[in-house]
Structure 1
């Protein structure tokens, strides 16, 4: 049993592909960065290692001057760079120096007021990294100018601290762009890939008890779903073969029963008249009717080939004339009305006569042996049979069409008459129903498809 709304395969694929793309993009960038870090490419090219450590360590003392905190990174820098030197100054004239500025760069140290951002090197041409770097940068002490060498290394901790910004500024926009493309492209791709499955579902909807031999198309079904389609087709084949065996059994059994029932009826008829003889004849007649109805059910599948124009007015009138003596003998009046002289449908005359006959016999059986049985034919293609008995309870109006179901267990019927009527109506593309708006009794309405003029 399916609970709740089924989940969409298409959007599950879209979501998972978008998430996978984001994860793969992140891992790819991290992998590239790790390789560059492990091979020494980034530290060799990075020129701001010393400045980063100094910028993190600079602060102000109580008097507002500049000072350095002894951070672990600063201690490591001093250990790795014995000849460490730097100049830190702010716009208010505070200055912090350590180490000795190389002689060739001393003139630049004296003219820092005229330098905003610069790179200096001992050799002619562009070096990576340069020997000296000058830059204004934001620190805990505010915006300061730092002049220092470039022997410091890239800090892994600093990289990790910058990771959120890198994710927001680089990875997130790229992931969003890829997700949007996935959102628009993947549904189209999935729809095309599952188009064959839609054809198979449409074919499955046409499968019915009277539409045997159908198979789900497998030519355009995705390879992953093909085993399911083949399994369903195999199951349909087994059901068809089982249904054919069932039909043959019922037909053979009904044929075999007709002869002993006829012999039994003949022998009972030869007995001296008595109440017991009458009851036995009634029981054998019931058995004979049951076998006839079973044969009628099995013949329905072959009657579609004999369809032709049928006049419902003529069919109903003929059945009423044939059963009127039986209805009169049971204590009923018979009434027949037709809105038109002729109403044509496409069908099998024998089957439609059998359906009308079963409804009238049902009315005779359940009408209470009093009142009137009315048969009416009306446009567009309706036949109604009504009695003035106790009617059909609301909760039984679907079950009475099931095979072998009887409204009253002790009734003389076999419980196949109304089921046969429903099968005949389905064969003709129509339906039968119990009409609600009747003052008394039961009214059954057969609705056919009118024959196009």
Structure 2
């Protein structure tokens, strides 16, 4: 819009500069002169002092004119310049003229106009009121430029945003797709269709970067899976040898440590399984899983000197991954054994499972952070800090939630709540 205004001003300035300057005689002068001319009873032309003619004469001391009727008779007023006296005899051949004089005192300024009065149609040659020619140029040029600038402004305000929006529609789509890319949606690439040619190399470079990141992530994941699989065999052999050894305090400690190693290997594999997002089509009985997990962990619980109780208050079935939910419960029970007190309650109510202990509890400002990977509540706590992170990942996959709340005894309750719809 500013460019359009500058263009308009420049155009008007050009018109002013090309103007020769000076003044012009007002065309209204001829009409006033014609209305002051009448025809007498003798048939001759006479000048009558009308009010407007008196005002015109008072405002212009050098007023003069020659009026010629269609009959050919003429009448004059004022001192006619010698230059125009011969022209007065030829007014029958001239009906329109603007004669300019660019140098003061502008004594040769004159106009020729046709005008009507009491004496009929007259051709008037003369000099009356003056006005600035530059003003006329400015007025006419502005009168011409305003519609043009208005139209250009309308096009700029209305059409330009539409054109730009359509041209950048592809860029807005790219931004939307780029915002949807995260670590759980790998393999996505940004399309290059409907993009300005200048942006295609940038989008292709971004796609190349995404491809390299995906390759690096896949290599990292394969390494973790391979390492976890390799650890399972020696851990199983070591566990079998410890189980066959005499029951001693050292043997029980080794048994707990080996169980912790086995849990860590399973957690690493679980993270990989969750990452594959297998469909959740199994019908899962939460109470049955809780009883089975508690029975499997009973030997470790007894060795640790902890009581465990499964309280079924009317559990429901959900769609989910039986093995993943079982490992989540095993993680929570083992955490309660390590950090809790002497009694663990696994409570099932509807679509909710709670694991409660009577230990020292978790500070309020730490209850959200315990689900972060590698976060430990206490610096010397055992474990790798992956158990509760795995719990949150599994619940997220099941469209559920997990939260840590304070138990009535002062311990901790880890609450798993499954959504009404967990299919898919």
Q: Name the Cα RMSD after superposition.
A: 4.5
Which has the larger displacement, 181-190 or 266-275?
A: 266-275
State the match for 1:33 in structure 2.
15
Q: 2:310 aligns with which of 322, 331, 336?
A: 336
Higher strand share: 2
Q: Distance in 2 between matches of 1:249 and 1:265?
A: 24
State the partner residue of 2:93: 124
Structure 2 SS opposite 1:414: coil
**Equivalent residue, structure 1, for 2:36:** none
Match of 2:355 among 385, 395, 404: 385
Deviations 1:338-375 (A, max 9, x none): 45453222x221111111221222222221x2344232
Q: Which blocks of at least 5 consecutive residues in structure 1 are unaligned? A: 1-17, 53-87, 113-119, 136-145
Match for residue 403 of structure 1? 373
Aligned equivalents of 2:407, 2:259: Cα separation in 1: 35
The structure with the largest alpha-carbon Rg is: 2
> 1:97 maps to what in 2?
62
The answer to whether the 8 A contact 1:210-1:301 is kept is yes
Contact 1:133 1:148 in 2 (8 A): yes
Q: Deviations over 1:1-40 (max 9, x none)?
A: xxxxxxxxxxxxxxxxx3344334444x347637xx55xx
The reply to whether residue 362 of structure 1 matches residue 340 of structure 2 is: no
TM-score, length basis structure 1: 0.64
Structure 2: distance between partners of 1:241 and 1:227: 21
Contact 1:26 1:171 in 2 (8 A): no
Structure 1 residue 442: Cα displacement: 2.0
Rounded Cα–Cα distance in structure 2 between residues aligned with 1:274 and 1:337: 33
**Alpha-carbon spacing, 1:314–1:259, altered in 2? closer, same or farther (3 Å):** closer
Query: 2:387 maps to which residue?
Result: 417
Partner of 1:129, secondary structure, is strand
CA change 1:411–1:208 in 2 (3 A) is same
Number of the residue aligned with 2:402: 432
Flag the 1:206–1:330 CA change in 2: closer, same or farther, 3 A: same
Aligned length: 365
1:241 is displaced (CA, Å) by: 0.8
CA separation of 1:407/1:204 partners in 2, compared to 1, >3 Å: closer, same or farther? same
Query: TM-score normalized by structure 2?
Result: 0.68
1:6-155 pair list within 5 angstroms: 18-27=1-10, 29-30=11-12, 33=15, 38=18, 42-43=19-20, 49=23, 90-91=55-56, 93=58, 96-97=61-62, 107-110=75-78, 124-125=93-94, 129-130=98-99, 132-133=110-111, 148=127
- Does 353-362 or 126-135 show the bigger shift? 126-135
Contact 1:315 1:349 in 2 (8 A): yes
Gaps in structure 2 of 5+ consecutive residues: 27-52, 69-73, 81-87, 101-109, 114-124
Q: Residue 236 of structure 1: SS of its match in structure 2? A: helix
